[in-house]
Amino acid sequence: MLYLSTDASVPLAAALERATLAPKLVNITTGRDDSAFSAVERIFVFANGPTGQGNPQRQGLNSALMGEGSPLNVLGGIPTIATDYSPLWDINAGVWTEEAIDNEYHSRLTEEFAILGFVEQGWITGLDGAEYGSAGIIVNCPIVFRFL
C-alpha cells in the first residue's frame, strides 16, 4: 500500500509520520472501530517488536527508530476489502511482555485477529502495562494505492 500521512493529533505521532500537527483530531472518538458509525480504522503499532535489519521477524517503533526501516504496522482494514474503511487511523499501541520475549513468542504479526489473540493470551499489553486498546491518538493517512 502507498498512503499519505497528512495530520496527527499529537506531536509525537506528527513527528514520526512527518505530518502536520492537528490537535483538534483528538475530538474524534477512538476505541470504537468496527462499531456502527465509527469514524476510525484501527492501526496496530508495536513499541518493542523484534529488531535487526535482516531479521524477517523485525517489526515495531524501536526497529524504525534504529533506522532499520518501516515499523511494519498492521492496518485493521483496507479499502475495497473492508467496507467500513476510514483514513482516520486509531493507534492501538502494543508492548510485548517480558514473558513473551523470554519465551520467544515475540515475532512479526501481520493480521489484526492474530494480534488480538496474543493480547487475549496476555503476551501483548498496552503502553506501560495498561490494558490493550486505543492509545487515543489519531493519524489521518489516506491510502492512495494498493499494490495487490
Q: Tens of pLDDT along 61-70?
A: 999 999 999 9
* Residue 81: pLDDT over 90: no
Q: 74 forms bridges with which residues in the sheet?
A: 44
Q: What is the 3-state secondary structure of 15-67? A: HHHCCEECHHHHHCCCCCCCCCCCCCEEEEEECCCCCCCCCCCCCCHHHHHCC
The residue range of the domain holding 80 is 2-145
CB 42 within 8 A of CB 78: no
Q: Does residue 86 have a pLDDT over 80?
A: yes
For residue 37, what pLDDT band results from cuts at 50, 70 and 90? Answer: confident
Percent of the chain with pLDDT over 90: 79
Number of domains in the chain: 1
Nearest C-alpha neighbor of 127 from the set 74, 71, 60, 72: 60
* Chain segment 93-122, per-residue pLDDT in tens: 999 999 999 999 999 999 999 999 999 999
Distances (CA, A) of 136 to 27, 43, 80: 10, 12, 26
> Whole-model pTM above 0.75?
yes
Mean pLDDT of 67-79: 90
Q: What is the pLDDT of residue 80?
A: 72
